[in-house]
Chain A
């Protein structure tokens, strides 16, 4: 009787596990089918509805990896990072998941988390290690931590066709970023006080400088004309004088701000380039 009960239990659990496995793999194939049809939001919904409580570790890894990848392709970076980081170390695509999680974090500006995640990886392969160095070099540039860039740059061999060009470009970005001169907002303000628009020209915004020069000079001419013909107490002089003062002070204030704006634009331009050159090798290497 005892043996009979055992047998019954055995068959029961066998049947349940088989049914679950069947259902899970079917859901995964369905999600893949949707992704292949570019119905990625639908694929994400299908994957999210999978009940993870009864899944094995390997099944969970497959699920999280697929979910992370689907979210990544629709630029849902938070969801993508969350899913990629849930993948366990035993999973075959663990390194890929971690690399992409780090890239998404870097893209979001969470450079410290990205850097920590990559450093924790144990990579047996030399190409993968060099790829990590490239990623860490990019992250160092995003952080403007030039001293952290150099040790990573020393790992570049410039021999792998997958990321040789990106390594060279990363070096170029380092040179450009380091050579970028920080202009003084105060000096820009002083220049604009002397010649309207000159501060913006100095900040690197030449067209804006000309655009600021013309109205201020025009109002100055009108104010001078009103002063010369009608005197200081005339309504004409007060009106144009007030307008001139507003535009003149506004130009000085705008010039001090334009230094910061130009600096941000410069950094943004290079951040985009760095992130692009971090991304392409990842796609080429892992796909």
Chain B
């Protein structure tokens, strides 16, 4: 009788323990978590999906699962526009002993997040680190593109042009694309605009390519002077100073400051248009 009870106990214990382990294994299996995280990502729930990928990193020591999770989480952070967070996240995985091809992919993703986060100097630093971190491995074409774009953003046209020509030559294309660097944008001088506006009202605005604002500035400043002179002649001395002179002074100083702002806007616009053209061409070349 006692033996029967003991056997029953043992068998029940084994059944439930095994079942419990199976349930746990099933619940926490990486595949399940991954499928769930992927479906959340597809549904646009990037925050929840990123928790799923983090759970894989927490649960698993298997490098293949870890890599899936790292790429997944990076995708989520990029979709959320959290590029700086993506940069830091990937930085923490740089030293992990993954196969070199995976480390290279992490390196590239980090450079991409850095570029999207507008840290252009850091992009160049990451590109420079490539050769000694991945001994002899050729940088991916997209990494070279990032370098060219980062140099463009920093206005380092000469270096960007060199990198661009090397890149185009290496692509070995049958039909060469038009050389965009033959028409590098000519940027205007902020100091020159200020200087012009200082001595010739409205000239800085003309120089910045805004004739409408230039004419308005000339008219207002002239009106100020005219009012001051007329008032003075008619013995309205207080009005001459407090309205005429003050109007001229305020618009003159404002005009100098405005010319500076307009030149900066002009330069930024030119740079953006050029960078956009280069970006489009490079992406087209990559697809060929």
Contact = CB atoms under 8 A, between A and B. Distances in A.
Nearest to B243: A222
B12 interface: yes
A268 interface: no
A2 interface: no
Contacts of A37: 54
A225 B50 contact: no
B198 interface: no
A42 B242 contact: no
Contacts of A22: 24
A30 B51 CA distance: 10
Contacts, number: 58
B42 interface: no
A11 B13 contact: yes
B23 interface: yes
Contacts of A182: none
A18 B16 CA distance: 11
A206 interface: no
Interface stretch (B216-224, B231-239, B254-262): B231-239
Nearest to B21: A19
A218 B54 contact: no
> For chain B, what secondary structure do more than half of its interface residues adopt (helix, strand, loop), or is it mixed?
helix
Contacts of B13: 11
Given A7-B12, A15-B17, A15-B19, A46 B239 contact: no
B55 A222 contact: no
B8 A7 contact: yes
Interface string A77-103: 000000000000000000000000000
A11 B12 contact: yes
Contact of A11 (B5, B16, B239): B16
Interface of B: 5, 8-9, 12-13, 16-17, 19-20, 23-24, 27-28, 47-48, 50-51, 54-55, 58, 235-239, 242-243
Interface of A: 3-4, 7-8, 11-12, 14-15, 18-19, 22-23, 26, 29-30, 33-34, 37, 39, 41-42, 45-46, 218, 221-222, 224-226, 229
Which 6 A-B residue pairings sit nearest by Cβ, starting from the closest?
A: A15-B16, A225-B238, A221-B238, A11-B12, A218-B242, A42-B51
Given A29-B58, A33-B54, A229-B235, 17 more contacts: A7-B5, A11-B13, A12-B16, A14-B16, A15-B17, A19-B20, A19-B24, A23-B24, A34-B51, A34-B54, A41-B47, A42-B51, A45-B47, A218-B242, A221-B238, A222-B242, A225-B237
